[in-house]
A and B are shown apart, each in its own frame.
Chain A
């Protein structure tokens, strides 16, 4: 069996608005394995993004424990989480979150400038098929291209984990497929553990493992014996 890279134990996340307490996560126990592509599925507000943020060191759990390998993230101070993100995690967001004033290459350089063993920005962009669009600004690119820049930016540091929050949420099917192909390619080529949040249930068919969320809890975990290529997915 593969090595466990993420382990959570009874993780809860409570948002206290002063009037009511909202449980975004209500006791999540989960194991994610090295090199796997995991898809988190579930309706809005079911806790997927919250969990992803906690795994990525963007947020703290209210209660429970989170391990990255042997390292416990649960009570890690801010400085440690920054270090963790800088060295191990790559993020891809639904709205790309590119810096509009920087070109594709420079957006990737944002990461390569601070990472310890990055690949050249150009190489990362080549990997996502944007070798010819490196010096374009985000405003000069399509949504799919922008998202691939975001993926290039995420993988340029050679992260152990790639966390993607609705990476195809803002894209049409053709460009969505291109983005998923890029993700799968990275996963297979570098063995990068990849977690993808999506609303699109079809995407689960390309994953090694699928985790279903409901009301802040995991309702089901499923392992795919046969996986589809992104191009085979019905959108």
Chain B
């Protein structure tokens, strides 16, 4: 090893704390890049492979009851490769050992052939015997959550017919990667399951012999889905078609897709911030090193080292820092990506995970890390290269001090000499102060950008569960029933209050824009499921009007008073023109609301209900479930408490993990910036501070100068941190917005305060570590040191 390389290693060893502080910030960037890209590729590769292997369909449609002979016509639609018809129906399940009812989605399993599309992947046991009417396969997570094994049985209420079904196997399906039950916000595998039953038995149970109510199509490569959807809609229209849709509107895939694009934007937004900060830290530290090593640089040149060699020497020091950061980032990122990919695989029900972080991701993240640190060091290294040897050997000219406006202002304030020193230094190197401040501001913003999620979720939960959906439970009917059924429901055990509601599938058109939505209809003054305006006041829909959620209105470019064309896919399947009479504040879903009586009058029918909202006597819910399990024409009883609990549990865990990660990140940034800033201060001021000590200043007074400057910069950073934090939070809410949900931007003073508190205390602790060096300052030696 050459002596100059040995110098490099020893310099690195001497600077290891500073180097480590920078390397950790860089590692954050590398790890996040690796994790998000790794997860992104893992999720999308797994999805692609799973969909391909198990032939996930491209277009989906439901109908009330379509004859099987229609399939020949469907398969003749241009671009259609294969068609699979099924019977699908919901059933209330009575699970052994569980007082509450559960909901099962029953899918027909073909009799003589294997499924062509949406092929379930058998995990245990076997598929049902085509002739056995009581054999079923259930989805693996449902079996696991309820402790079912092949051979176990449970009862199901299939259109009023109570049947005991025996589990012969468990499976996973590409259709149910994200298994969300009716009325639920998140997957709950204990109370919602997928059930595959023989075609014959399913058709008999749902009165569909010789017919189907669900069809999936696979399209030839390069076929656009829109014309196929239109053709399919035309064919299904006479049979109660509810509007065909492609993968992008498929609930399971849409959730997965939202997750994948979030990962993508996380990979794009965060790492550059870390790379930027590390570049700045490197430039700050290298600048100081080169100032301190002026004479060594002169010497190296005097003995014949070329400019390039000197420049490279210092770049390699930055390179070593980068190396540590990159290796740490790779290690943490690899583990983090693998662990989170496994978690995702569990949350999303994949039978396998293709986890493969390609070499290029390592290469790109490594290169990005190396490049940013090199860029950070470049200015200083070039300065070293440009230093004329004869000048380098002389002590640097003292910095030019001129009285400025700031000095005159300070003079007027009668500040102490120590404070004046702090302020002078701040203004003498404004760019450095500004960048240090910016680094700390980014740390503050990192805390704010994650903590605001707590309040945002509180607001989502409050609006969704306390303000709008105030019912204890929702009773869902298999088919619409007359409103008179409400009286019977009111007499069920434990029911305190019951309000009916109806759903219609519709496509809303406005100009060239259109959106497939579910229209909710209820009576004016409904108290259990309400819609609110932006100010939190309940809204009622006048007859002839429609209320839209703000996001839906924005997507369709509508405002209050506009007329929209509503193409109903249920009821009489007519198209009506409606006036937008108000906008609804809503975070989950894209809602549209109408008056119950008006919509039924519009379809010239007696008032019908699709579901009933209930308030319950908590002591009698078990009794209610017992009755429900035996009632015909019901497809489920959804308890909102469970809904809320599972939503909060799942989301809160995620938010806690996210908060922890972001706070750790903020701490790493703060340590990196504050520690290095203080070290540089100390190095620059060592003589000055030693002189003050010799003049009789106490350790405390001298410490004040060192600690004061960094803490003043940290204080200045706070408002910038708040601003940047608010901006990032806003960018995140935009990035996370999908048709499924929107994260509201809720910024409370407590969030800002906590962000500042964390950063200020960590900055103070970092500076105090450096301050300890003041105690060890050898006053005589420092005075002898030649600058």
Within 8 A of B (CB), among A94-111: 95, 97, 99, 101-102, 106-111
Nearest CB of chain B from residue A74's CB, rounded to whole Å: 15
Chain B contacts for A83, CB-based, 8 A: 304
Asked if B3 and A107 make an inter-chain contact with CB atoms under 8 angstroms apart, the answer reads: yes
Chain B contacts for A79, CB-based, 8 A: 306
Chain B contacts for A154, CB-based, 8 A: 303
Asked if B786 and A113 make an inter-chain contact with CB atoms under 8 angstroms apart, the answer reads: no
Asked if A109 and B7 make an inter-chain contact with CB atoms under 8 angstroms apart, the answer reads: no
Nearest CB of chain A from residue B493's CB, rounded to whole Å: 84
Q: Tell me the bound Cα distance from A109 to B301 in angstroms.
A: 15
Q: A95-B295, A97-B295, A97-B298 are in contact. Are A85 and B303 (CB under 8 A)?
A: yes
Within 8 A of A (CB), among B358-405: 388-391, 393
Q: A97-B298, A101-B11, A101-B14 are in contact. Are A82 and B6 (CB under 8 A)?
A: no
Nearest CB of chain A from residue B204's CB, rounded to whole Å: 87
Asked if A101 and B7 make an inter-chain contact with CB atoms under 8 angstroms apart, the answer reads: yes
Within 8 A of B (CB), among A108-159: 108-115, 153-154, 157
Chain B contacts for A29, CB-based, 8 A: none
Chain B contacts for A85, CB-based, 8 A: 301-304
Chain B contacts for A115, CB-based, 8 A: 304
A91 contact from B4, B296, B302, Cβ within 8 A: B302
Asked if A114 and B303 make an inter-chain contact with CB atoms under 8 angstroms apart, the answer reads: yes
Nearest CB of chain A from residue B602's CB, rounded to whole Å: 87
Number of chain A residues close to chain B: CB under 8 A: 33
Stretch at the interface among A53-61, A193-201, A212-220, A221-229: A53-61
Nearest CB of chain A from residue B343's CB, rounded to whole Å: 46
Q: Tell me the bound Cα distance from A129 to B296 in angstroms.
A: 24
Q: Tell me the bound Cα distance from A37 to B390 in angstroms.
A: 22
Q: A59-B390, A95-B295 are in contact. Are A113 and B2 (CB under 8 A)?
A: yes
- What mask results when residues 12 to 24 of chain B are scored 1 for a CB within 8 Å of chain A, else 0? 0010000000000
Q: Which residue of B lies closest to A84 (CB)?
A: B304
Nearest CB of chain A from residue B391's CB, rounded to whole Å: 8
Chain B contacts for A202, CB-based, 8 A: none
Chain B contacts for A102, CB-based, 8 A: 3, 6-7, 10
Within 8 A of A (CB), among B246-285: none
- What mask results when residues 78 to 99 of chain B are scored 1 for a CB within 8 Å of chain A, else 0? 0000000000000000000000
Asked if A111 and B295 make an inter-chain contact with CB atoms under 8 angstroms apart, the answer reads: no
Chain A contacts for B301, CB-based, 8 A: 58, 82, 85
Within 8 A of B (CB), among A73-90: 78-79, 82-83, 85-87, 89-90
Asked if B11 and A114 make an inter-chain contact with CB atoms under 8 angstroms apart, the answer reads: no
Q: A109-B2, A113-B3 are in contact. Are A99 and B296 (CB under 8 A)?
A: yes
Chain A contacts for B3, CB-based, 8 A: 102, 106-110, 112-113
Asked if A86 and B389 make an inter-chain contact with CB atoms under 8 angstroms apart, the answer reads: no
Asked if A106 and B304 make an inter-chain contact with CB atoms under 8 angstroms apart, the answer reads: no
Q: Tell me the bound Cα distance from A14 to B188 in angstroms.
A: 84
Asked whether any CB of chain B lies closer than 8 Å to the CB of A6, the reply is: no
Asked whether any CB of chain A lies closer than 8 Å to the CB of B186, the reply is: no
Q: A99-B7, A101-B14 are in contact. Are A110 and B303 (CB under 8 A)?
A: yes
Asked if A59 and B388 make an inter-chain contact with CB atoms under 8 angstroms apart, the answer reads: yes
Nearest CB of chain A from residue B239's CB, rounded to whole Å: 84
Chain A contacts for B434, CB-based, 8 A: none
Q: Tell me the bound Cα distance from A82 to B301 in angstroms.
A: 7
Nearest CB of chain B from residue A205's CB, rounded to whole Å: 28
Q: Which residue of B lies closest to A137 (CB)?
A: B10
Q: Which residue of A lies closest to B296 (CB)?
A: A99
Q: Tell me the bound Cα distance from A99 to B299 in angstroms.
A: 9
Asked if A97 and B296 make an inter-chain contact with CB atoms under 8 angstroms apart, the answer reads: yes
Asked if B299 and A87 make an inter-chain contact with CB atoms under 8 angstroms apart, the answer reads: no
Nearest CB of chain B from residue A137's CB, rounded to whole Å: 9
Asked if B388 and A82 make an inter-chain contact with CB atoms under 8 angstroms apart, the answer reads: no
Chain A contacts for B391, CB-based, 8 A: 59
Asked if B305 and A82 make an inter-chain contact with CB atoms under 8 angstroms apart, the answer reads: yes
Tell me the interface secondary structure of chain B in the complex.
Answer: helix
Which among A59, A95, A97, A109 has the highest number of chain B CB atoms within 10 Å? A97
Asked if A95 and B299 make an inter-chain contact with CB atoms under 8 angstroms apart, the answer reads: no
B305 contact from A53, A101, A106, A114, Cβ within 8 A: A114
Within 8 A of A (CB), among B19-46: none
Q: Tell me the bound Cα distance from A86 to B14 in angstroms.
A: 29
Nearest CB of chain A from residue B784's CB, rounded to whole Å: 11
Chain B contacts for A110, CB-based, 8 A: 3-4, 7, 300, 303
- What mask results when residues 675 to 686 of chain B are scored 1 for a CB within 8 Å of chain A, else 0? 000000000000
Nearest CB of chain B from residue A64's CB, rounded to whole Å: 16
Q: Tell me the bound Cα distance from A82 to B304 in angstroms.
A: 5
Asked whether any CB of chain A lies closer than 8 Å to the CB of B307, the reply is: yes
Asked if B390 and A58 make an inter-chain contact with CB atoms under 8 angstroms apart, the answer reads: yes
B303 contact from A53, A91, A95, A101, Cβ within 8 A: A91
Nearest CB of chain B from residue A72's CB, rounded to whole Å: 19
Asked if A111 and B303 make an inter-chain contact with CB atoms under 8 angstroms apart, the answer reads: yes
Asked if B304 and A86 make an inter-chain contact with CB atoms under 8 angstroms apart, the answer reads: yes
Chain A contacts for B4, CB-based, 8 A: 110, 113
Asked if A111 and B304 make an inter-chain contact with CB atoms under 8 angstroms apart, the answer reads: yes
Q: Which residue of A lies closest to B388 (CB)?
A: A59
Q: Tell me the bound Cα distance from A83 to B564 in angstroms.
A: 82
Q: Which residue of B lies closest to A78 (CB)?
A: B307
Nearest CB of chain B from residue A93's CB, rounded to whole Å: 7
Q: Tell me the bound Cα distance from A99 to B8 in angstroms.
A: 11
Chain A contacts for B298, CB-based, 8 A: 58, 97
Q: A95-B295, A97-B296, A101-B7 are in contact. Are A58 and B388 (CB under 8 A)?
A: yes
Chain A contacts for B393, CB-based, 8 A: 58, 93, 97
Asked if A58 and B296 make an inter-chain contact with CB atoms under 8 angstroms apart, the answer reads: no
Q: Tell me the bound Cα distance from A101 to B313 in angstroms.
A: 14
The 5 A-B residue pairs with the shortest CB-CB distance, nearest first, are: A86-B304, A101-B10, A109-B3, A59-B390, A53-B390
Q: A91-B302, A93-B393, A110-B303 are in contact. List 16 more A-B contacts (CB 8 A).
A: A56-B302, A58-B388, A59-B390, A79-B306, A82-B306, A83-B304, A85-B303, A87-B304, A95-B295, A95-B786, A97-B296, A97-B393, A101-B7, A101-B10, A110-B7, A113-B2
A to B CB contacts below 8 Å, 21 in the list: A53-B390, A58-B388, A59-B390, A82-B304, A82-B305, A83-B304, A85-B304, A89-B302, A90-B303, A91-B302, A93-B299, A93-B393, A95-B786, A97-B295, A97-B298, A97-B299, A101-B10, A101-B11, A102-B6, A110-B300, A157-B304
